[in-house]
Amino acid sequence: MITEFISGWAVKILDTTGYTGATLLMTLESMIAPIPSEAVMPFVGFQVADGKWNLWASVGATSLGSILGSLLSYLMGFFGGRPLVLRVGKYLFLNVRDLERTEAFFHRRAGVWTVFISRFIPVVRHFVSIPAGMGKMPLLPFLAVTFIGATAWNSFLLLLGMKLREHWPVVQKYSHKADYIIVVLLLIASIWFLRQRLARQRAAT
């Protein structure tokens, strides 16, 4: 079953890499790499629910990753601006349109609260550190609201993962239905990805 395979694969990665792996994944998640926290933190919750990891160490490791990734993105924006972000981003599958939307969102509501709220918004939270750096937002307030917002979001997903693990027998019982949904979503994502690639190739020629 797909759900069983994905969960087993994710848990195996975390078993192998430990807290360091979780920190690295959340560092990438907080940058422009296409790694959503929703695909990492629930499985960290699995580790805690299984008694393999300590709750507070898990929160600390993943929050550290969020801070590191956000800081790297901030510094890219601060010192290199858009040219550097685009140059590095091509190696991390940067979606330029998402970056442009986030820049527009940030500049409409520039400030500490914008960065905080962005930590709870899909896609935007991956990119908001860049316009914050480009806009020369003071570093300490940026790090403070990033830490608070990212820790709150990560902890929420971690607790969801713990609850999911507790009810895993029920999930397994109905996972075959979820498999159909996952297959459809994967097909949609594949089609979308191919269309984006083709559109970029046409634009480049």
Distance CA 1, CA 20 (A): 29
Q: Which amino acid is at 90?
A: K
Residue 155 confidence class, pLDDT cut points 50, 70, 90: very high
- Whether residue 196 contacts residue 95, with contact meaning beta carbons closer than 8 Å, is answered with yes
What would the mean pLDDT of 62-86 be, rounded to a whole number? 84
Q: What is the CA radius of gyration of the chain?
A: 18
Closest CA to 32 of 88, 109, 113: 88
Kindly state the average pLDDT of the residues 178-200.
Answer: 65
Q: Stretch 66-86: mean pLDDT, rounded? A: 82
Cβ burial 117-131 (10 Å sphere, 16+ → b, else e): bbbeeebbbbbbbbb
Average pLDDT, the chain: 77
Within the chain, how many helices (H) and strands (E) appear? 10, 0
Is-above-0.85 flag for pTM?
A: no
How high is the pLDDT of residue 193? 64
Residue 129 tokens, joined: 């550190």
- Higher pLDDT: 2 or 189? It is 189
What are the structural domain ranges in the chain? 2-166, 167-205
Q: Is 6 exposed, middle or buried (0-12, 13-18, 19+ CB in 10 A)?
A: middle
Highest mean pLDDT among 6-15, 30-39, 134-143: 134-143
DSSP 92: G
Rounded mean pLDDT of 40-63?
92
For 119-150, the pLDDT digits (tens) are: 887 777 777 888 888 778 889 999 999 999 99
**pLDDT higher for 143 or 197?**
143
Residue whose C-alpha is closest to residue 135's, from 159, 112, 156, 161? 112
Residue 2: what pLDDT?
47
Which pLDDT does position 160 carry in this prediction?
87
Six-digit token string for 55 = 């709750």
Model confidence at 64, pLDDT cuts 50, 70, 90, reads very high
CA nearest neighbour of 74 among 35, 119, 129: 129
